[in-house]
Amino acid sequence: MGTMISVKNLIKIYKVGSEKVVALNDLTFDVEQGEICCILGTSGCGKSTLLNMLAGLEKPTRGEIVIGGQHIEKMNEVKVTKFRQKNVGFIFQSYNLLYGITALENVAMPLMFRGVRKKKREKIAFLMLAMVGLAKRVRHKPTQMSGGQQQRVGIARAFAARPKIVFADEPTGNLDSKTTIEVMELMVEMCRRNNQTLILVTHDKDIAAYADRTIRLYDGYIVSDERKNVEIKQERVLT
């Protein structure tokens, strides 16, 4: 399949007053194209920081992040923004929809940033919404939808431009158990269909079960890296 993401000796240190807080401590791993990879850990373990690093939203203190052969840690803000528009989709816990516009307009937005003509992007957006079971809700605004429906709009938006990578940050955190299952199955299906890479951040082991691979973080360290049917590789033993 080939490597989509390569992380090498990644370190992130924050300064808090006169103190230094190590959020990520020398992480090294690769993610394959089409792999569904879960970053698992409790609050404060560094998983959201890692997601921000991979998405180019924050710069590492040291280390390399290579995505699709490009060093994103070396890109300036303009270049990394263009890189995200071309290669990345996002799914958020709080949906992050624009509440003043319709579901169709929300889903079409990434295509607008790519310069796709209005008629074509609306057609794609409609097809994506139909794919996630919202064909009858395309003209509804987010305030007229349930949480599960809003997250389906978020999924349609993330996949609309067929990005190489989708980052999902606690995507089921605001959903009930039944809707969580529906949303997770939908995300996995969408990724499988187009061989897209999914990086999923969660604290929930049940959500991690949907992934091909689970990287568990603790205090900024990788403590285990497990693929399904493959023995856990211990990176650091905690006592």
Q: List Cβ<8 Å contacts ≥24 apart for 131-137.
A: 131/156, 131/190, 132/156, 132/186, 134/103, 137/103
- Residues 124 and 160 sit within 8 Å (Cβ to Cβ): yes
Q: Is residue 22 part of a domain?
A: no
- Indicate whether 8 belongs to any domain: no
Angle of helix 118-131 relative to helix 103-113, nearest 10 degrees, comes to: 130
Cβ count within 10 A of residue 56: 20
pTM of model > 0.85: yes
Domain at 97, CATH number: 3.40.50.300
The pLDDT score that the predictor gives to residue 93 is 87
Say yes or no to pLDDT of 238 above 70: no
pLDDT for 1: 65
- Quote the crossing angle between the two packed helices 147-160 and 177-194, to the nearest 10°: 10
Residue 71 C-alpha from the chain's centroid: 18
Domain residues for 171? 33-60+76-238
- Give the largest Cα separation in the chain, rounded: 59
In a domain, residue 139? The reply is: yes
What pLDDT sits at residue 235? Answer: 45
Structure-token match 């360290």, residue found: 221
CB atoms within 10 A of CB 239: 2
CB 172 within 8 A of CB 205: no
Q: Is residue 24 in a domain?
A: no
What is the count of structural domains for the chain? 1
User: Could you report the per-residue pLDDT of 177-215, keeping only the tens digit for each?
Assistant: 999 999 899 999 999 998 999 999 999 999 999 999 999
Q: Is the pLDDT of residue 231 over 80?
A: no
Of residues 238 and 65, the one with the higher pLDDT is 65
Q: What is the pLDDT of residues 92-102, one digit of tens each?
A: 988 999 999 99
pLDDT, tens only, 97-155 = 999 999 999 999 999 988 999 999 999 999 999 999 999 999 999 999 999 999 999 99
